[in-house]
Structure 1
Amino acid sequence: MKYYGLLDIVKHEVPDDIDSILKNKEIFLKPDCPENQYIWSRCLTTMRKESIESSDVRIFAGGKLGGYLGKMPGVLEEFLIAIDLNKPIYLAGGLGGLCQKLCDSILNNEISEEFTEEWQISHNARYIELQQIAKSNSFEADYEQVKTLILGLSVEKLSLRSGLSKEDYNRLMTTPFVDEVVHLILKGLNQLEGKPQY
């Protein structure tokens, strides 16, 4: 492994609802069909929830809109989980990717087309089949809920949780400069220090 010694590998249990359908947990399961993609999506969601629950804050930058292995783009799913868990969130939208689309949606109070089921189906192979399998198991990506949640957010709400002023948070969402992103995140973290976490 390329980063052996730099990273700690944390193993997660397979979610109970898919444990019984896995024939052999010791063999790598390729995400090469909708059924296997569904298993991947369930495992990725479980991993993300456990990771976010154990963190104090979440920082988001970049993120791909297609070619992902979960039930929705990974950065989007992690963002939704972090919001649900009331974690302080730092959105570095000026660095591009899905995070930029997310910031644009919040700043303009208008959902980006990439956060619709129609867009995801038309830009990701076999996505409609994955959604059908997920819906039959009550685990689909609910893009109406995504829309409602994103449009219910504001810079003010995000800034209050992050230790930044509205002006600083707005700058965090738009600056293309990595050094400024780091400065603003550190400023927010310093402000949060000693305050109760949400």
Structure 2
Amino acid sequence: MTYHEPLSQMSIGISISESDDLAVLGLAEEHLRDAMTEISRHMLAMGARLVYGGDLRDNGYTKLLFELVTRHRRDADIADVRPAIANYLPWPVHSLKSKEYLTKLREDLEGMGELYCLDREGNSIAEDADIGPNPTAFSDEDWSSSLTAMRHVQTQATSARVVLGGRVTRFKGRMPGIAEETEIALKAKQPLYLLGGFGGCARDIASEMGLIPDVDKPTNWPGRMGFSSWGSSDLANGLNIEEIRTLARTVHIDQAVALILRGMLRLSQ
């Protein structure tokens, strides 16, 4: 009889980026990376497929996810032939890389992950297409429209989303990336796990939704007020209100992992 890992049928979107206010909370970048590492490691070990849309910096979260796949995913579910991770790159990001660089990255990921390069409208570009590098400067509208398109494609490819951190200044797009990914997931009625304890955009969203106390000296980034129209029931994540509030405020990684997995297992049953 084929053994199936508990989350083998789930594709989990990961929304994470640096927080502007980590130091104010007494935290450092390492805390955010550790949280992402532990959450991702447990989900991979339980058979989940991870979906991420990000850049290709050598010290970025995309590379961290790729490293996690090589170390931690158990391939017990032989019926699930999907690579463990899917990374989506919007048009301006991959256009700044050479075709040789992207080809080498795909080769390194073979059997473990998939790399999707998208055009301006979010359509997947063929691997053998001549897509970069592009010396043309990209406008704000180029970034905004392509990032929004990528996030809609991501949501269609996922069955749940985990949100933590997130820059609310110096971002590209119509609102902070974490906020847009959260908004799209909410509108799609997708299970959402919101971790506000690590600051950033996720903390602001949790505050607007009434899950944690109001944030001191809030930054009024575009679209922030719109999250006040959503409530805990809209998260649809398998957790009760007390568990949702605990997840929204905790800085204890083990507690956060336990709550996320509890909600996902409830939904999977």
Q: Same fold (TM over 0.5)?
A: yes
Q: 1:57 to 1:151 in 2, by over 3 A?
A: same
Going by fraction, where is strand more abundant, 1 or 2? 2
User: Of residues 228, 233, 246 in structure 2, which corresponds to 1:171?
Assistant: 246
User: Which residue does the alignment assign to 2:118?
Assistant: 12
CA contact (8 A) 1:45 1:70 kept: yes
- TM-score w.r.t. the length of structure 1 is 0.68
Q: 1:69 to 1:14 in 2, by over 3 A?
A: same
Matched, 1:96 2:193: no
Aligned pair count reads 153
Gaps of 5+ in 2: 1-55, 64-104, 123-129
Q: 1:10 to 1:61 in 2, by over 3 A?
A: same
What do the CA deviations read for 1:1-53 (whole angstroms, capped 9, x no partner)? 7444355220112229xxxxxxx96414444xxxx111111111101110111
Measure, in 1, the Cα distance between the counterparts of 2:203 and 2:147.
23
Percent identity of paired positions between Structure 1 and Structure 2: 25
The amino acid across from 1:13 in the alignment is D
Going by fraction, where is helix more abundant, 1 or 2? 1
Q: 1:83 to 1:157 in 2, by over 3 A?
A: closer
What do the CA deviations read for 1:130-157 (whole angstroms, capped 9, x no partner)? xxxxxxxxxxxxx4xx534x12222243
Measure, in 1, the Cα distance between the counterparts of 2:192 and 2:116.
23
Matched, 1:155 2:232: yes
Q: Residue 110 of structure 1: CA displacement?
A: 7.0
CA contact (8 A) 2:189 2:234 kept: no
User: Of residues 136, 144, 159 in structure 2, which corresponds to 1:41?
Assistant: 144
CA RMSD of the aligned region, Å?
2.6
The amino acid across from 2:151 in the alignment is R
Measure, in 1, the Cα distance between the counterparts of 2:213 and 2:189.
20
Secondary structure, counterpart of 2:114 in structure 1: coil
CA contact (8 A) 2:165 2:203 kept: yes
Further displaced range: 7-16 or 108-117:
108-117
Q: 1:109 to 1:100 in 2, by over 3 A?
A: closer
User: Which residue does the alignment assign to 1:20?
Assistant: none
